[in-house]
């Protein structure tokens, strides 16, 4: 059976403007690789309702799992929850269990549960809450879409929670070889080797050092024995 597929949707003007660097996609890709869920696509969209709804609907129809980050905070531009509800055609309102989580948290900290903070308890109908051990305000899962915070520490905690509930596949393994030759020199034999091992993925990533060009060749696959065999052939083609 093929591994489950996934997509990442990063939401926020701050990402597209360059003000904030997206580290969440990198973290998600690493975690999914460990459990055998194949991240097939990543998109970034602005804080635009139509763009968010269109992206969510396109991705959830194409992939087994969709992960989003950003736009579920207390401010006016945090519109992701409403957009998810619209994408699924369901209502959204403050939910009692989410409200209780926030009320208890702010009571402990001595802060007021304001109308703005209460926005974080607005959950689409039929969604399941995602635990947030960092700042309490929950994410949620609706269908195959997992909606999480953009703050990296919170996103990472929510990913850990979600992954315990999903079907896993065969983890992707990788090995690499550093070759002190440019890609133009290795392209033809590398192509032939890739054709010899069609079940594996071969990637070439160039580097430059002291004016000389080289290539890091990375071989990926789910069968450790096949991976070892390919690396033996690769080392024979390009001995150190």
- pLDDT, one tens digit per residue, over 194-217 is 999 999 999 999 999 887 889 999
Look up the CATH architecture of domain 174-237. 2-Layer Sandwich (3.30)
pLDDT value of position 61: 98
Give the pLDDT of residue 82.
97
> Which residue reads 């004016």 in tokens?
211
Q: Kindly report, as residue ranges, where domains of CATH 3.40.980.10 are found in the chain.
A: 5-163
Residues 6 or more apart whose Cβ sits within 8 Å of residue 108:
none
Whole-model pTM: value is 0.90
Output the pLDDT for position 240: 81
Residues of the chain with CATH 3.30.70: 174-237
Question: Please, what is the angle between helix 183-196 and helix 224-237, to 10°?
Answer: 140
Measured distance CA(221)–CA(202) in Å, rounded: 9
Topology given in CATH for the domain delimited by 5-163: Molybdenum Cofactor Biosythetic Enzyme; Chain A (3.40.980)
Per-residue pLDDT for the chain (240 aa), expressed as one digit of tens each? 899 999 999 999 999 999 999 999 999 999 999 999 999 999 999 999 999 999 999 999 999 999 999 999 999 999 999 999 999 999 999 999 999 999 999 999 999 999 999 999 999 999 999 999 999 999 999 999 999 999 999 999 999 999 999 999 999 999 999 999 999 999 999 999 999 999 999 999 999 988 788 999 999 999 999 999 999 999 999 998
Alpha helix segments (H runs only) across the chain: 13-16, 24-35, 49-62, 80-88, 96-109, 115-118, 152-163, 183-196, 224-237
Phi, psi of 200 (to 5 degrees): -115, 160
């Amino acid at each position: 059976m093929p591994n489950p597929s996934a997509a990442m949707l990063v939401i926020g003007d701050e990402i597209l403007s360059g003000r904030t660097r997206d580290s969440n996609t990198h973290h998600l890709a690493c975690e999914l690789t460990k459990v055998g869920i194949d991240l097939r696509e990543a998109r970034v969209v602005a804080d635009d309702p139509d763009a968010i709804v269109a992206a969510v609907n396109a991705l959830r129809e194409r992939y087994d799992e969709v992960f989003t980050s950003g736009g579920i905070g207390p401010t006016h531009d945090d519109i992701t929850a409403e957009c998810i509800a619209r994408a699924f055609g369901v209502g959204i309102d403050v939910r009692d269990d989410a409200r209780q989580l926030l009320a208890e948290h702010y009571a402990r900290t001595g802060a007021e549960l304001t109308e703005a903070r209460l926005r974080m308890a607005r959950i689409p109908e039929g969604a399941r809450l995602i635990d947030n051990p960092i700042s309490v305000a929950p994410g949620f899962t609706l269908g195959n879409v997992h909606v999480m915070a953009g703050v990296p520490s919170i996103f990472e905690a929510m990913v850990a929670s979600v992954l315990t509930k999903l079907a896993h596949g065969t983890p992707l393994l990788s090995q690499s070889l550093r070759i002190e030759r440019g890609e133009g020199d290795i392209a033809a034999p590398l192509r032939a080797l890739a054709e010899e091992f069609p079940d594996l993925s071969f990637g070439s990533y160039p580097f430059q050092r002291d004016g000389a060009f080289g290539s890091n060749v990375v071989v990926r696959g789910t069968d450790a024995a096949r991976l070892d065999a390919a690396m033996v052939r690769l080392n024979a083609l390009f001995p150190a």
